[in-house]
Structure 1
């Protein structure tokens, strides 16, 4: 690694002090993230640190204060409910550098592994179990409940700016469909609220082949919201071709979505599709663009589940 990819010396010294011994950097792992409404948040930086005894930790620097604040809150107050080895544990935080020192979680991102279909089913079922624990862990009182109750309205507010930016990438009929669908988010009855992961997708779902256990990472978008918001990205992604994974996740989660939640999921998927059609061309990322087009086509054809 070059000096430009290494942590700042002061940051590395802080991590060593927190762990009680000097540490070495063994890997540099950029951790890209994107936001709703098509706005890039920048890329967190993640390094793997090794103690002299061989123990590994992750040093993560958030790209902006909101991501740092959200992940710190999640790691302190909700993520421990997932259990040991199922999510990172916070060893220390450094607000000056927006840095987090985390334990490692066994396994690798599911999307990076060649796992049998049966193994993927087990991973998604366990992922659903863990999401249920996370959703129940947050304290939904006072302003946090208000934040969660307003989450779908906030999502609906994204529709106008997104549709304007999409321009002629979507047809007039698609524009009208997305607008009508997202406006319904404002008139839905109260939906189950939760402390959501915010980026529940295969790249954040870890799977350990040796223990056959799943875990979640990447909590910088965790927040109080409608529980259904945690199922958008997988519904628009891997679940499109694998309904068995969707069924496994909800089996682990312990319940199916309510009819009102299914309506919300369609509207949120429409927003995700338009966001992809904005971001993909801007980033020259054909995979993102294709995902958005496929989701919107499925919605228009009435086959989105």
Structure 2
């Protein structure tokens, strides 16, 4: 069991200037070393969250998302940004009800309901505002950028992949460059049940540090290789409320992106002691190899 992370004194002092005295603090970080999130209770009895971003890039993305994208989700469907402090990469957020869907032991019908709401929320996020010129350029280049990352992850993964598996990843990266135009907008960037809070039949989204302009299909990759591969009913529920079917180009891109996700998982997971991420990558890669006849 990891040691609880301590809320830095300077960040606590700044938060107390905004909300008054803090009477209790609970480490709410994800189980990886760069995640730093605390649930704090004020003297008024209200619970809020303090987050210290792992990098300037993530701090900038998340602050922008809360100001310009997240409001499209609607009341109580995501936290609100109370304030931010660039010196410490700190964000002060309201709390939304619920616990991560993955922790709730949901029934099959509840999972379908969760995915149906997730599809509707993702549609709102993906349609949030018009992309400016620079954002559109970034979004339209996002699949090419994903393909460019393949060699970096292959190098990091090293002999965790066979020669045949490495070639399969390279082939999918090459194919990704030629899928043609796909819809673009703002994506959540880590769209999965650990970032879906569910309570009393209502779903909310959290954690927007990876929110950015990109090909919208990139928000479906983790779901495709975890939730949907064994539960196609969840995929149908999500897409029914998402409001449109994926285009042929998106379906093709999604397959290519799952191969890149696999090598990313196999480069990151073992190095960070994350058995679930490692297993996700291995399972996807094994399936793609079987389907390719290799």
Q: Give TM-score scaled by structure 2 length.
A: 0.94
Kept in 1: contact 2:24–2:42 (CA 8 A): no
SS at match of 2:246: coil
Query: What's the counterpart of residue 156 of structure 1?
Result: 147
List per-residue Cα deviations over 1:174-221 (Å, max 9, x = no partner).
22222111112212211100100000011001111x2x0001101000
SS at match of 1:282: helix
Query: What's the counterpart of residue 212 of structure 2?
Result: 223
Kept in 2: contact 1:25–1:47 (CA 8 A): no
Query: Is residue 168 of structure 2 the alignment partner of residue 169 of structure 1?
Result: no
Gaps of 5+ in 2: none
List per-residue Cα deviations over 1:239-258 (Å, max 9, x = no partner).
22111111111112111211
Map 1:1-305; keep pairs closer than 5 Å.
5-19=5-19, 21-32=20-31, 43-208=34-199, 210=200, 212-302=201-291
Q: Which moved more, 1:115-124 or 1:173-182?
A: 173-182
Kept in 1: contact 2:4–2:27 (CA 8 A): no
Q: Tell me, in whole angstroms, the C-alpha distance in 2 between the residues paired with 1:229 and 1:158.
A: 14
Q: Tell me, in whole angstroms, the C-alpha distance in 1 between the residues paired with 2:275 and 2:81.
A: 36
Query: What's the counterpart of residue 37 of structure 1?
Result: none
Kept in 2: contact 1:147–1:224 (CA 8 A): yes
Q: CA RMSD in A?
A: 1.7
Deviation of the 1:26 alpha carbon: 3.2
SS at match of 1:91: strand
SS at match of 2:269: helix
Deviation of the 1:281 alpha carbon: 2.4
Q: Tell me, in whole angstroms, the C-alpha distance in 2 between the residues paired with 1:165 and 1:48.
A: 35
Q: Tell me, in whole angstroms, the C-alpha distance in 2 between the residues paired with 1:98 and 1:31.
A: 17
